[in-house]
Chain A
Amino acid sequence: MEEKTSFWSRITFSDIVDWTLIPILMVGVVISVYIWLLLPIEPGSMEANIIGDPVSGFSNVWAAVLQHLKLIGISSVLAILAAVPAGILITREGFRDFADIILGVANFGQSVPSIAILALFMGIMGIGAPTAIFALWLYALLPIVRNTATGIDEVSADVIEAARGMGLTNRQILFDIELPLSFPVMFAGIRTASVINVGTAALGAFIGAGGLGNFIITGIPLSRERMILIGAILTAVMAVMVDWILGKIEDRLVFRRE
C-alpha cells in the first residue's frame, strides 16, 4: 500500500525557501523604496513634479510600472507568437535551408545595440509606445527562434523514428512528441527574452514610450539620484520577478527527465 501523505506534510523547508525567498526580498526592496519616497522633497523641483508628494508620487511610479509591464508584455507575447512558429518552420523538411536566413535576420536584430534599434525605428515609425514595442519585439525574436529550433533539433532521432514507424503523422509527431520534448529549451528562450526585454524597455523612455526609464533619463540631466535610483531599482526588481515567475511556470509545465 502506498502511504497517504497530505499535501502539507510533503512541503519541505527548502520548498518554502524556494517559493518565498525572492518575493520577500523584492517586497522588502519595494517597501524600502516607498519609504524613501516619503522623505521630504524640495518643493518646486523637477523631481517633485515627476515623483510628486508621497501620495501622487506613488501613483506616478505605479503608472510607470504599468506602462513598463505593457511594453514588455505586448512585445514578449507578440515575439512568442512570431518566433515559435518561425522556429518550428525552420526545422521542417524543405524549410531547413531557410534556417540560416531566418536566424540571420534574428541575429541582426540581436546584434544591433538596442538603443540604435530604437533610434532607427523612431525615424521610420515616429515616437511613442508602438515604436518601442516593435523594437522590443524584434529584440526578443532571436532567443526564442533559436531555442525553439534547437529544442526541436535536440529531440532524439530514435524517438522520432519510433513514432514514425508506429504510424504517427508528421503533425502528430510535431504536437505530441517534438513540441512537448523541446518545451524546456523553448521556454528557456522565452524566459531569457522576457528578462532582457525588461531592461531594454527602460530605454523606451528615450523615444517617449514611458515606463520606468522615464525616471532614469529625467533624473540624469537633473542629477536627481533619488529619481535615477527609483527607476533603476524598480526595473531590476521587475526583471528579477519576471524571471522568478516564469521560472515557477516552467517548473509546472516542463516535463523533467529526472
Chain B
Amino acid sequence: MIKLEHVTKIYPGTTSPAVDDLSFTVPTGEICTIVGPSGCGKTTTMKMVNRLIEPTDGEIYVLNERGEMQNVLEMDPIILRRNIGYVIQQIGLFPHRTILQNMGTVPKLLEWDNTRIRSRAEELLDMMNMPHEFLDRYPHELSGGQRQRIGVARAMASDPPVMLMDEPFGAIDPINRNLLQNEFLRLQQEIKKTILFVTHDIDEAIKMGDKIAILNANGQLEQYDSPAKILSEPANEFIEDFVGADRTLKQLNLIRVEEVMDKKPFLLQSTQSVEEALKAMDEKGQDYAYVVDSDRRLQGYVSRKDLKGKSGWIDEYTTTAATSLPITMNLRDALSEMLMVDYSTICVVDNRDRVRGTVNTAMVQEALMETHSSERREEV
C-alpha cells in the first residue's frame, strides 16, 4: 500500500505548487497510473515517495514487508530507496557493469552473497523470458527492449513490495511497447507489487492501471478511480477532454475477448465424415464451420461449398485459418484484428491453442451498446 496525505510540493523560487494537496491510496498489489498533461507534477509526485524530491507538506506512508505502515519522511532515504523498486524511462543501466552486476546492485547493497545474487538474477531472466547468457553481457550488447526488461528486472531484484515506474516503456517503439506492457501485466499477476506508474499516455494509463490518478496542469488531483469508472463516469469536463472523445472506444481496452465471446461455438471434429459435417451445418444453418482436433486445437475451417458432393473425412477439405485471438486479448486489439481479416467470425484460443469460443464484430458492438446503456441508466 502507498498512501499520500495532503502532499504538496512547492519548488524553491516558485509560488504556485507543482503538486497541490494530493491525497490518494494505492491498495496493495495494484498498479496506480498517474497521468496528466506535461508539467502536472506526476513525476514529482512519484519521486516524493522515495524522497528523490522532498515534499513541502503532507505525509507519505508505505506498507513494508513486515506489514507495517511506515512514514517515509521519517525514514533514512537510503534505506527507503533500497526497499522500493525504481524504473525510469531512460533505464539508466550502468554501462560499465554486466547485466548480472546491474541486476545485483540492490542485493549487493543489502549484502546478499554472490551465489544468492546469481540465482536471483537467473530467476529474474526466466521471468523476463531472457536466456541466462545475458548475465555476462554488457548493456550496450542488448537491444532497447531487452535493456528495458533488464531495467524492470533490476528494480525487482530484491523483491521490494513497492515499485515506482516513471514512463518505463516511453522510449520504446510502439510494437515493443505493447509487448512489454502485456508481458509486464502478466508478470504483475504473479508478483502482485504495489506500483506507482507515471505515464503521459492516457491509453497506457488505462491499460496498465487498476486505478488511475489524473492530475491537472496545476498539480491537483482531478479524479482517482478505476479505468472503467474514469471512462464511463468522467468527473468533469477536464477529465472528459483528457480521456478524449473516443472514450467509448477506449472502454474496449478494458473488456477481454473472453467476456463477450460465444462460449459454445459450432465446431466440427476433424475426424468427422463429410456427410456428418454437412448434416450438422444444415441443422445449424451455417455455411462455414471451424474444425478442431480431439484436443480442441484449431485445425482450420470448412465451407459447405467445398464439402458439397464430396465423401470421406472433412480434414481433407479443411482450409488453414490464419488468425485466432488469445483469450486474454482486449476487445480493442481484437476488433482491429477482426477488421483486418475477411472472415466474419474468429476463433478464440487459450494459451494451449485450444478453441474456447468464437467472436465476431456483432458481439463487440453488443458489448459497446451495453456499456452505453448502463451509462445512460446511471445518468437517469
Contacts and interface: CB of A to CB of B under 8 A. Distances in A.
Interface of A: 156, 158-169, 172, 177, 180-181, 255, 257-258
A257 B140 contact: yes
B50 to A, nearest CB: 6
A173 to B, nearest CB: 11
A180 B95 CA distance: 10
Nearest to B89: A158
B86 interface: yes
A88 to B, nearest CB: 17
B96 A162 contact: no
Contacts of B154: 166
A254 to B, nearest CB: 10
A169 B79 CA distance: 10
Given A255-B96, A257-B140, A162 B78 contact: no
Interface in B88-135: 88, 90-96, 105-106, 109
B94 A165 contact: no
A26 B263 CA distance: 84
Nearest to A158: B90
A1 B3 CA distance: 51
B185 interface: no
A257 B140 CA distance: 7
B80 interface: yes
A258 B140 contact: yes
Given A162-B88, A181-B95, 4 more contacts: A156-B90, A158-B91, A168-B109, A169-B78
Contacts of A163: 92, 94, 105
A162 B91 contact: yes
B166 to A, nearest CB: 9
Nearest to B151: A162
B52 interface: yes
Contacts of A162: 86, 88, 90-94, 151
B109 A159 contact: no
B82 interface: yes
Contacts of A168: 78, 105, 109
A202 to B, nearest CB: 38
A181 B95 CA distance: 8
A167 B77 CA distance: 8
Given A162-B91, A167-B81, A169-B78, A181 B96 contact: yes
A168 B50 CA distance: 13
Contact of A161 (B82, B88, B151): B88
A158 B155 CA distance: 15
A177 B140 contact: no
A180 B96 contact: yes
Interface string B68-87: 00000000011111110010
Contacts of A167: 77-83, 106, 109
Nearest to B81: A167
Contacts of A172: 109
Nearest to A169: B78
Contacts of B96: 180-181, 255
A168 B96 CA distance: 16
A166 B154 CA distance: 9
B140 A166 contact: no
Give the most central of A163, A165, A168: most B CB within 10 Å: A165
Contacts of B94: 159, 162-163, 177, 181
Nearest to A159: B92
A257 B151 CA distance: 18
A172 B106 CA distance: 12
Interface in B269-326: none
Contact of B95 (A161, A164, A166, A257): A257
List the 10 shortest-distance A-B pairs measured between CB atoms, nearest first: A162-B92, A167-B81, A167-B82, A158-B90, A165-B86, A158-B92, A255-B96, A159-B92, A180-B96, A167-B78
Nearest to A164: B52
Contacts of B78: 167-169
A196 B106 CA distance: 43
Given A159-B95, A177-B94, A180-B96, A166 B105 contact: yes
Contacts of B81: 164-167
A166 B86 contact: yes
A180 B50 CA distance: 26
Contacts of A164: 52, 81
11 contacts: A158-B91, A158-B92, A162-B93, A163-B94, A163-B105, A165-B50, A165-B86, A167-B80, A168-B78, A172-B109, A258-B140
Contacts of B50: 165
Contacts of B105: 163, 166, 168
Most chain A CB within a 10 A radius of its CB, from B79, B92, B93, B164: B92
A95 B206 CA distance: 45
Contacts of B93: 159, 162
Contacts of A165: 50, 52, 81, 86, 88, 164
Contacts of B140: 257-258
B88 A158 contact: yes
Nearest to B85: A166
Nearest to B95: A257
A162 B83 CA distance: 14
Interface string B46-60: 000010100000000
A255 B91 CA distance: 20
A163 B108 CA distance: 13
A158 B147 CA distance: 14
